[in-house]
Amino acid sequence: MMPHSRSNLILGLCCAAFAALVAFVWIPLDVDTGLIEKVRRQLVIGDALAPMVAAAFIGIGGLLLAVFERRAPGQPAVRLADLAFVGIALAVLVTGFLIMLYAGPAAVAVFGGDAEYRLLRDTAPWKYIGFFLGGVFIITGLITQAENRFRLRNLCIAAAVTLVLILIYDVPFDDLLLPPNGDV
C-alpha cells in the first residue's frame, strides 16, 4: 500500500469515527428533541435531524474514501485534473444555489402580477420553483460532470429526485419551508 493510499484510509476511518461520535454521543447529549416530533397532531422536524443528516454524510464519505481508494502507484496526491473537478463541482453548486434563491422571485415578478414573493413563498407553485429548478440544475450538473457528457436521462433522474425530495420534506410538514424560502 502506497503512503497516499494509507493516508486516505486513515482519513476515511477518522471521518467515519467522527461521524459516529457526533451521531451517537454529541447529538443525544446536546439536542433535546428527536429527528421528527409530533406536536399538536402535526409532524415537525426535530432539532436533531439536520446534524444527524450531516453526520451520516460525513460517515458515508469517510467510509467511501477508506474503501474505494483508487490512486495508482506513482501518481501525485493532488493533480490539476482533481482541482479542476472540484472547481467545476463548486461552480455547479453555487450556480444551483443562486438559481434556488432567485428563480422563485423572478417567476413571481414575471407571472405573479402585483404580488410579492415574500407573501407567496409558502404557497404552491411559487414555493417549489426555486427549489425544483436549482435542485435539477445541481443534480444534472454533477451527474454530467461525473459522466463527462450530458444525457436527457440525467435530466429526468434529476427531476425525479428533486420531486421525491419535495415529497419527503415539504408534503408531511406544514411548518417547513424548502430552501431558500425560510431565509427570504
The arithmetic mean of pLDDT across residues 17-34, rounded, is 87
- 74 found inside a domain: no
Using the predicted structure, report yes or no on whether residue 181 has a pLDDT greater than 80: no
Q: pLDDT > 90: what percent of the chain?
A: 40
pLDDT of residue 3 exceeding 60: no
Cell numbers 454533477 correspond to: 142
Rg of the chain, C-alpha, whole Å:
20
- How sure is the predictor about 67, in pLDDT bands with cuts at 50, 70 and 90? confident
Q: Are 32 and 72 in contact (CB under 8 A)?
A: no
Of residues 75 and 172, the one with the higher pLDDT is 172
Same domain, 28 and 116: no
Please check whether residue 73 lies inside any domain of the structure: no
Q: What are phi and psi of 73, to 5 degrees?
A: -60, 140
Owning domain of residue 53: 3-67
Same structural domain for residues 56 and 86? Answer: no
On whether residue 131 sits in a domain, the answer given is yes
> Which among 39, 67, 95 is the end of a domain?
67
Query: Where does the chain have alpha helices with state H?
Result: 3-21, 27-30, 49-67, 80-111, 117-120, 126-147, 152-169
Please tell me the pTM assigned to this model: 0.68
In a domain, 159, yes or no: yes
Are 97 and 138 found together in one domain?
Answer: yes
Answer yes or no: do 163 and 99 share one domain: yes
174 in helix, strand or coil?
coil
Question: Looking at the structure, do residues 100 and 142 belong to the same domain, yes or no?
Answer: yes
Check: CB of residue 136 under 8 Å from CB of residue 155: yes
170: cell is: 415539504
Residue 8: predicted pLDDT: 78
The yes-or-no verdict on residue 1 having pLDDT over 50 is no
Average pLDDT score over the chain: 84
Q: Are residues 127 and 160 in the same domain?
A: yes
Residue at which a domain ends, from 12, 36, 67: 67
Model confidence over 90-146: pLDDT tens digits? 999 999 999 999 999 999 999 987 888 888 888 888 889 999 999 999 999 999 999
73's grid cell: 502507484
Which single residue is written with the C-alpha cell 451520516? 56
Reduced to 3 states (helix: H, G, I; strand: E, B; else coil), residue 121 is: coil
Looking at the fold, whether 61 and 109 belong to one and the same domain comes out as no
Q: Which residue has the higher pLDDT, 157 or 51?
A: 157
Domain count along the chain: 2
C-alpha cell of 46?
A: 426535530
On whether both 43 and 91 belong to a single domain, the answer is: no
Question: Do 50 and 89 fall into the same domain?
Answer: no
Residues 178/131, Cβ–Cβ less than 8 Å:
yes
Mean pLDDT of 11-38: 85
Q: Which of 67, 89, 114 is the last residue of a domain?
A: 67
Helix (H) or strand (E) holding 179: none
